Structures are given as C-alpha cells and as structure tokens.
C-alpha cells in the first residue's frame, strides 16, 4: 500500500463489529497511513470496537448516540480537545425497526418513519455541520447509501426513503460546504453481510440475486468499499463532491436479470 492518507486524521462512525462497512473503511484508511478515532453506540458495542481500534493503533474511542444532542456535543468537544482539527469523517450509520423492514412499505408507522429518518439521514446533516467546524483546511465527509434509494427493492421499505433523503442531503451539503473545500459524497455498495444488512427481510435472497446478476457476478467486499472511501478521502478525490459512488459490481446498470436467471 502507498501512503495516500499519511498526515490525515478523522473520525469513523458506525463500527459495530469486524463485519461492519465502517470497519472495512477504517482498515483501508489505516493501511494508507490515516490516524483514526472511532465512535460507537453504547457500552456493549464499545467492548467490541476497542480491540479493533487497537489493532489499527487507535485508543481514541467516543461513545455517541446520534439522536442525542448532548452526546454529539461531547463527542465533538473531545475531538476538538485532543486533535483540534480533522481531515475526514466517515458516517456509516443507519437504523430502522426490523419489523418494518418486512412486509409492505405502505404500513410504515409515523414513529418508525421519524426515527429511521432521524438516525439514517438527519444525523449526516448534524455531524457534517459539527465536523465542518473542525476542518479549517477543508476535508472529506463520506456516508453510505444503497440503490434501494431510487429503485424499489423488496422489504427495504422506509430505508429506501431514508437513503433517498440521505443522497439528496449529500448534494445539498456538498454545495453548502464546497466553498470551504469540504467534499461530501456517498458510497453505494450492493448488499453486504452485516448486522444492519441482516435486519432487512429477505437479505439472503437479495445477496444471492445481486451476486447472480451483477455484471461482475460478485457482491461488494469490505475491501472494495474501503478502497472507494480512501479515494474519496484522499487528495485524488479532490474534484469529486456531491456524488454517489456505486460499488455494487455494476448491478445498478441492469434493466432486467441475466437471461440464465429468468
Ligand atoms: P452495521 O450494523 O455494522 O453498522 C450500522 C451502525 O449504525 C452500527 O455501528 C450502529 O451502532 C450504528 N447506529 C445505529 N443507530 C445509531 C445511533 N442512534 N447512534 C449511533 N450509531 C448508531 O451495518 P452496516 O451494513 O455496516 O451499515 C453501515 C452503513 O452502510 C449504513 O448506513 C447502511 O445502511 C449502509 N449500507 C449497508 C449495506 C448492507 O447491505 N449491509 C449496503 C449499502 C449500504
């Protein structure tokens, strides 16, 4: 590996375990020389994240619930106290009540709609505003989305709406923060075997369907998503903002399944 991220440091939000997309990204950023801080949600996840962080040379862990302003205030105060500034932020956070990631979208409840959009979309706006205050020399913010944002995917339901709102937020944030040399982009992998991924009804079928039909005939890997995030956080990505970078083995170009699968 080269040193594409040498001298850069940033916060990775959303590692739950070694299968998390955020962990794939953290590993790739570390391999390119980045210095990392991690946020985790609650003590139980903290115990899992601690050894992972240590394996990439980090002892900078912050407990954050993105629905709680005090928690976010404390987290960004810690970042400011210890580092003063950051160069990148990875936002790999989403949540919806599992019971509504099955069945029909039309049955989405008001409470879960609000909660899902708050955690999965509003949190990006909130952390981008806070992170931008710690990026005096510019920086890069990367979030994670999924193609269910603009094409109906069985059981993705309210998460599809949350991801559509997230992708629109990426464009508005990119425009607001562009004059400060802060870039905002999303990486859009195909289905991956993670905790959040497993919560979606029919996850295994979606995984197998994408593998069988994507032009490259395989699913995205933690390494491929990590590499895409490195590009977006490195200086090579310095003319890319407001974009959705597809890392789905080409699945999004299809109009219908491959002939052998019909
Ligand atoms: P994951 O379960 O490993 O990560 C989700 C993270 O969100 C967890 O670390 C969890 O603690 C965090 N989180 C949820 N609610 C939170 C809150 N209130 N405060 C702070 N953190 C909170 O699953 P993942 O698949 O790695 O998900 C990461 C991102 O990637 C999500 O945005 C997800 O939608 C997206 N994504 C996933 C897939 C997939 O198939 N797994 C595909 C495309 C995009």
Which sequence positions are flagged as catalytic? 146, 156
Distance 61 CA to ligand 1 centre (A): 17
Which residue, judged by its Cα, is nearest atom 28 of ligand 1?
92
Distance 202 CA to ligand 1 centre (A): 17
User: pLDDT digits over 210-235, tens only?
Assistant: 999 999 999 999 999 999 999 999 99
Closest CA to 166 of 86, 92, 71, 105: 92
pLDDT of residue 2: 78
Structural domains of the chain ordered from first start: 9-261 (3.40.50.720)
- Spatial separation of the C-alpha atoms in residues 110 and 10, rounded to whole Å: 35
Residues with CB under 6 A from ligand 1: 14-16, 20-22, 41, 45, 64-67, 92-95, 119, 144-146, 189, 191-192, 194-197
User: pLDDT digits over 83-117, tens only?
Assistant: 999 999 999 999 999 999 999 999 999 999 999 99
Q: Average pLDDT, stretch 153-182?
A: 98
Structure tokens at 161: 């709406």
Structure tokens at 222: 């933690």
Residue 190 CA, closest ligand 1 atom number: 42
1, pLDDT greater than 90 = no
Q: Read off the pLDDT band of 57 (50, 70, 90).
A: very high
- Three-state SS at 116: helix
pTM beyond 0.95: the answer is: yes
Which residue, judged by its Cα, is nearest atom 20 of ligand 1?
65
- Spatial separation of the C-alpha atoms in residues 14 and 235, rounded to whole Å: 24
């Amino acid at each position: 590996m080269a040193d594409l991220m040498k001298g850069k440091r940033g916060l990775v939000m959303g590692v739950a375990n070694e299968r998390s997309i955020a962990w794939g990204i953290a590993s790739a950023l570390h391999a390119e020389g980045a210095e990392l801080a991690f946020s985790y949600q609650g003590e139980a996840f903290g115990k899992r994240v601690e050894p992972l962080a240590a394996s990439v040379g980090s002892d900078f862990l912050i407990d954050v619930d993105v629905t709680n302003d005090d928690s976010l205030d404390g987290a960004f105060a810690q970042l400011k106290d210890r580092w003063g500034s950051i160069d990148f932020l990875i936002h790999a956070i989403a949540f919806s009540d599992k019971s509504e990631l099955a069945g029909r979208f039309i049955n989405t409840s008001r409470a879960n709609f609000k909660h899902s959009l708050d955690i999965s979309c509003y949190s990006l706006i909130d952390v981008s505003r806070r992170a931008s205050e710690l990026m005096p020399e510019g920086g890069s913010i990367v979030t994670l989305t999924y193609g269910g944002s603009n094409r109906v995917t069985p059981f993705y339901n309210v998460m599809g709406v949350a991801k559509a709102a997230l992708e629109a937020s990426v464009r508005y944030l990119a425009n607001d923060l562009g004059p400060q040399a802060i870039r905002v982009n999303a990486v859009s992998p195909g289905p991956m075997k993670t905790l959040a991924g497993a919560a979606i009804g029919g996850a295994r079928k979606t995984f197998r369907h994408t593998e069988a039909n994507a032009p490259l005939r395989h699913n995205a890997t933690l390494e491929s998503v990590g590499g895409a995030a490195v590009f977006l956080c490195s200086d090579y990505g310095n003319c890319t903002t407001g974009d959705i970078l597809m890392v789905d083995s080409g699945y999004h170009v299809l109009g219908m399944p491959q002939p052998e699968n019909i």
